[in-house]
């Protein structure tokens, strides 16, 4: 059983912890938090040993009735791999700690690419993480773009990608973010930084991106235009994308006309936290003009990187090769929605030994 420590137990960290706990070949040896808030109490309920990310704050946990297993460096020493899910920039500061214990570490998309040896997406470059000690699971948007680009590139070849990213202003709990009543070109400069981030996965890809931020918390939406190397039909592209387990092509007739209904769909189906680990591509939006493909996809920013973190753990430790890892991750989490309206996979997320 591979021992995984999670440093930073917020939006991403708590989901990764549950996803790791659901796998048969790895276990959560502990989570590190800075404060004994509601998420800390949930971690205790779920049975994750709690470590103090800032040792001087350990007494605050005791006052809140939370037993501390140790300080974060003890967690790093105990773990075979650490998943750093701290806020952007903190991961880079933590790298020294992981190096001191010779513990391989995964970082998240908020860190810059030069903090790590390899930027990672399970579908596109799983094997690149094999010899790495420091791996960055790319951001929610870059993950969403990479999952679509990889099969298109393999099947048809890609000449150029143009993407407009309509981004949620903040996550549901981020009540200090915005805009509240505005539509922001963000960044105003074109192209946005998202294209270069995708190039950390596809080094030679020609891609330009533009970004906006809108008053929403649920999901991002991408308007994608891909110039392919060959002429194809929309039906052929749709069939290709439907073969990918981490892409959900929303069938016509589902009545899902926006991300609000997508989230309702996930909640109604009993998805934990209403998570949508898959890219959600509107089937009716898939259109082809000459060699130009167009589509709309929605990306659940809080959860699409979660299966990728599980696969990255297997990639850096050599536990399983790409296909076996992705299948196991998806099976244990319940990732995958077929075209059948009742097509959610079994909802599995629970401790592997339950």
Q: Which is closer to ligand NAD, CB of 108 or CB of 228?
A: 108
Least separation, in Å, of the C-beta of 287 and ligand NAD? 29
Q: Which is closer to ligand NAD, CB of 111 or CB of 330?
A: 111
For the beta carbon of residue 297, count every other beta carbon within 10 angstroms.
27
Least separation, in Å, of the C-beta of 50 and ligand NAD? 12
Which are the contacts of 15, defined by CB distance < 8 A and separation ≥ 6?
273, 275, 302, 303, 306
Rg (CA), the chain: 20
Q: Which is closer to ligand NAD, CB of 34 or CB of 288?
A: 34
Q: How far is CA 123 from CA 30, 79, 157, 234, in A?
A: 28, 26, 16, 22
Q: Which is closer to ligand NAD, CB of 85 or CB of 201?
A: 85
> What is 199-211 written as a DSSP string?
TTTSTT--EEEEE
Least separation, in Å, of the C-beta of 276 and ligand NAD? 13
Pairing of strands 105-107, 2-7: unpaired
Instruction: Cite the DSSP H helix spans in 156-305.
Output: 194-198, 234-242, 259-268
Residue 96 is encoded by which pair of tokens? 């020294």
Least separation, in Å, of the C-beta of 85 and ligand NAD? 5
Least separation, in Å, of the C-beta of 302 and ligand NAD? 5
Q: Which is closer to ligand NAD, CB of 30 or CB of 109?
A: 109
Binding interface with ligand NAD (CB under 6 A): 7-13, 32-34, 53, 85-88, 90, 108-111, 139-140, 171, 301-302, 305
CA 173 to the chain's CA centroid? 18
* Ramachandran angles phi, psi of 23, nearest 5°: -90, 150
Least separation, in Å, of the C-beta of 32 and ligand NAD? 5
Query: Which residue in 110, 300, 119 sits closest to 199, CA to CA?
Result: 119
Q: Which is closer to ligand NAD, CB of 88 or CB of 350?
A: 88
Q: Omega into 87 within 30° of 0, i.e. cis? A: no
Catalytic residues: 140
E-state strands within the chain: 2-7, 26-33, 50-52, 68-71, 81-84, 105-107, 118-120, 134-137, 158-168, 184-185, 207-214, 220-228, 247-250, 279-282, 287-289, 292-299
Query: Which residue in 311, 243, 307 sits closest to 278, CA to CA?
Result: 307
């Amino acid at each position: 059983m591979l021992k995984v420590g999670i440093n930073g137990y917020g939006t991403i960290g708590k989901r990764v912890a549950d996803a790791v706990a659901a796998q048969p070949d790895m276990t959560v040896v502990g989570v590190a938090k800075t404060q004994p808030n509601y998420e800390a109490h949930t971690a205790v309920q779920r049975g994750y040993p709690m470590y103090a990310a800032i040792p001087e704050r350990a007494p605050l946990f005791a006052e809140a009735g939370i037993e501390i297993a140790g300080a974060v460096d003890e967690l790093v020493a105990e773990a075979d791999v650490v998943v750093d899910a701290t806020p952007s920039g903190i991961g880079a500061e933590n790298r020294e700690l992981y190096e001191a214990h010779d513990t391989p570490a995964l970082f998240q998309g908020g860190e810059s690419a030069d903090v790590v040896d390899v930027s990672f997406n399970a579908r596109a470059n799983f094997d690149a993480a094999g010899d790495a000690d420091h791996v960055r699971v790319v951001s929610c948007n870059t993950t969403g773009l990479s999952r679509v680009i990889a099969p298109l590139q393999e099947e048809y070849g890609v000449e150029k990608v143009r993407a407009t990213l309509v981004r949620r202003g903040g996550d549901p709990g981020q009540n200090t973010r915005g805009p509240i009543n505005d539509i922001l070109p963000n960044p105003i400069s074109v192209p946005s930084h998202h294209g270069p981030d995708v190039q950390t996965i596809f080094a030679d890809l020609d891609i330009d991106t533009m970004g906006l931020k809108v008053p929403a918390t649920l999901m991002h939406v991408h308007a994608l235009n891909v110039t392919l190397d060959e002429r194809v039909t929309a039906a052929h592209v749709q069939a290709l994308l439907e073969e990918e387990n981490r892409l959900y092509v929303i069938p016509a007739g589902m009545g899902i006309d926006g991300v609000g209904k997508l989230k309702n769909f996930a909640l109604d189906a009993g998805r934990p936290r209403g998570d949508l680990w898959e890219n959600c591509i509107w089937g009716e939006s898939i259109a082809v003009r000459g060699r130009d493909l167009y589509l709309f996809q929605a990306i659940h920013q809080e959860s699409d990187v979660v299966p990728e973190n599980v696969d990255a753990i297997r990639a850096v430790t050599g536990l399983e090769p790409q296909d076996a890892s992705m299948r196991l991750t998806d099976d244990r989490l319940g990732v995958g929605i077929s075209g059948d309206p009742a097509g959610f996979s079994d909802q599995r997320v629970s401790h592997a030994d339950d």
